[in-house]
Structures are given as C-alpha cells and as structure tokens.
Amino acid sequence: MTAVAYAAEIDFESEALLETSIRFQCPLSPNPLTPRNVFLTGATGFLGAFLLDELLKKTEARIYCLVRAADRAEAYLRISNHLRGYSLWNESLAHRIFAIPGDLSQHNMGLDRAEFSDLAGRIDVIYHNAGWVNMALPYAQLKSANVAGTREVLRMAGTEVTKPVHFVSSIAVFYTYSWENGGLLTEADTPIYDPTLRGGYSKSKWVADRLVAEAQARGLPASIYRPVRIMGHSQTGAMNDTSDLLPLLLKGCILLGKYPVFDTNITLVPVDYVSRAMVHLAAQEKSWGRAFHFINKTPVEWRRLMTALRSFGYPLEEVGYDEWWKDLRQEVRRAGIPLADKRFLSTLILAMTAPHFLFYQRPEMESRYTDEGLNGSGISCPAVDEALIGTYLAWWRKTGFLPVC
C-alpha cells in the first residue's frame, strides 16, 4: 500500500477519540496555580528551553523534565548542554531541574508502573510542549511522538491527582480551504477536521489538539496554546534550530543573489514572548478550558523583509517566482558549487515542496483571551520591524548560518 493510499484511509475523527479509561475523577492537585512540582515535556526542544528558563525564574517549583536518554546523568547533561546553547544555564537554579529518562510515545512514558505513579502523584501541573516538528513527514511517522505522546500526558494528568495540562498546539490546525475565506478566526472557534488540512504535521497536531479538548470536556483543567511560527529571542535573536522554512529561504535567497516576488505578509512570534505569555496565563484559573492564539498583530511584508536583507549588505535581485525556482534547481546542479551549499540548497528545495504554511493565505485571527489574560503584565508581542529582523540576522551571522558580507 502506498503512503498516499494509506493516508487517504485514515479516519482522523476516530484518531482523535480519547480512551474511555482516561478520566479525571481524582482530586485536584494541591497547588495547580502556584506549583511546587511541574512536569515539562520537550525541554530539549527550542520552545522547551525557554519554557524551562521561564518556569525556573517565575516559579519556585521543581521542574521534572522527561528526556530521551539512557539514564538520569545523560538526561541531565542533555538539558544542561541545551540551555547553555541558548545562554540560559543558571547554576544557582540548576538544583530545581530533575531529569527523567523516558520516552513520551511509550506506555507510561517508558517508566515502570511504580515510578510513573509516584511521579504522577507528585506533580501539580503539566506543560506538554514535546512534539516532532517536520513538515515533510506523513502523519503515520509523526503519530507516535505527537499523538501517542499526548495520550500519555493525559493519562498522567488523571493519575493519582488531577493535574492541569498546558498544551502547545499550533495555529496550523485551522489551515484548511474552509478557513482561508472564513471570516474572523477567534480563540473560541473549534478546529473542525477538513480533508484539505495540509500536511502530516498539521494533522498530527489537529488530532492531539482534539484529544486535549476531549479531556477538557471530561473535566480536565486544561489550556491549549496555538502559536503562529515561533522564531528567535526578541533581544538576542537566539535560535539554534534553523530547520524552519523562513531562515532556510532567507539563506537560499542570499546564496542565489535573488529573491522571488511574493505579495504576502510574513508573521512570526519570538520565542521569549511565547514562553513568558504561556507561563503567565497558566497561573490563572480562568485560563482553564480556553484556547489562546499567540499571533503577531504587526507582520512584515515580504518585500520589506528583503529590503532589510539588503540593508545588511546582501545584494538581492527581485525576479518572478518561476525564474527563481528554475535558478534554484540549476544552482544545485552547477559544477563547482561548494558541497555545503549544494546540500543546503537541496534541503531548501525539499522544504519548499512540503506543506510549510509560509505563503498560504491565512484567515484573520483575533486573540481576545490572550490579550485579556496578559493585560497589565507587561508582556506583549514585539512588532516584526527592522530592529527585530536585524536581531535575527545578526544572530544567524554570529553563529555562521548566514555568510558575512
């Protein structure tokens, strides 16, 4: 059976059914809003590093981080090295980090029954951030990490005590033809499944999103956070994961010396805004049962983004998309091209053919619940302006991702 045929046979509505055995009948954890013990998944991911940092700074909790590793020492080393990579490591707070070697996609997260029950009884709140972000892979390959992992988190949430869950979803769960001209997208809207939902990643996040919503309906105090594209820190530009299409495309344009014509706006949210907003909203009981949109109300025009690249000294010519795409493919085959550039441009070609959402038409989105919950906190999403773009470009040049003119 081909992958296409298999995908066509998947009943995604059935995939999103939560087992009847997962219930939330235990008493609520004693400290759901001012936790003493937090369970965090995805600490070795991009957003996860900043969530861990924010939780260490804004709470006094011990943070239990599930990490793929052979033992606790290796798991702890992975966390510490990851935080150091973003200049987030703080030795004075390190004693509050507890590394748990395990596998989110396995039953009981790969822990034995006693360890799972002991951990479930100790935790006050769960931040479920782990997931495999890959726009090129089909749903079947992403299911274990993104769907099965969410089921295990919900199972833990109802074990021993009921623990609030704060789940990182994606605004991509709404990216279907029915929403492209569907009017204002509000935080109270339900992402109904549509066959035009693009890509295996979006489908896996849609299923996980609906599993958490079903848990909410069964009484779990849970919140769903749906950010648009998450990019680097607004002050430092820190972003060591450059697999997202936007940085790939910007570098590709620089290597080619030209960019394609696009009549579109580019939207993004800095990672520090997402982590700060999420931890702040999670401390409010009124957040339970709600979904939050992390959007940027001041996106940047594609041509303005290219102007910013030029201001950093990169000579760029504007050409039609068909010409740019042809030149990109020819450059990969050009004799004498450095091997590293050849590999990079081949990766860009693959990324451009996957469902990447960068240039898709999006519905107009609102963030009333988010705005209300952040009111008076001093937390707001920075505008995508020349200063922010310059911060990102400076970081990518500093780390060697972009060439220095």
Same domain, 181 and 150: yes
Write down the pLDDT at residue 134. 83
Q: How many domains does the chain have?
A: 2
Q: Is 237 domain-assigned?
A: no
Q: Is 404 domain-assigned?
A: no
Listed in sequence order, the residues at least 6 apart from 105 whose beta carbon sits closer than 8 Å to its beta carbon are: 144, 145, 148, 149, 152
Same domain, 75 and 218: yes
Q: Is 376 domain-assigned?
A: no
Domain finish residue from 277, 294, 311? 294
Same domain, 279 and 350: no
Same domain, 39 and 65: yes
Write down the pLDDT at residue 356. 64
Q: Is 369 domain-assigned?
A: no
Q: Is 257 domain-assigned?
A: yes
Burial of 330 per CB tally in 10 Å (0-12, 13-18, 19+): exposed
Same domain, 201 and 344: no
Same domain, 181 and 46: yes
Same domain, 69 and 200: yes
Same domain, 30 and 8: yes
Same domain, 277 and 324: no
The pTM is what? 0.94
Residues in the chain: 405
Q: Is 372 domain-assigned?
A: no
Average pLDDT for runs of 10 along the chain of length 405? 53 94 96 97 97 98 97 97 96 97 94 96 97 86 95 97 97 83 86 89 96 97 96 95 89 95 91 98 98 94 93 94 95 89 91 72 88 97 93 94 88
Q: Is the dihedral of CA 246, 248, 254, 257 positive or negative?
A: negative
Q: Is 46 domain-assigned?
A: yes
Note whether 321 and 282 are within 8 A (CB): no
Range of the domain at 22: 3-232+268-294
Q: What CATH number has the domain bearing residue 9?
A: 3.40.50.720
Minimal CA–CA distance to 191: which of 297, 291, 296? 291
Minimal CA–CA distance to 239: which of 381, 348, 392? 392
Same domain, 140 and 286: yes
Write down the pLDDT at residue 181. 64
Write down the pLDDT at residue 178. 76
Same domain, 177 and 89: yes
Same domain, 125 and 220: yes
Write down the pLDDT at residue 382. 95
How far is Cα 14 from Cα 258, in angstroms, rounded to an integer? 46
Q: Is 378 domain-assigned?
A: no
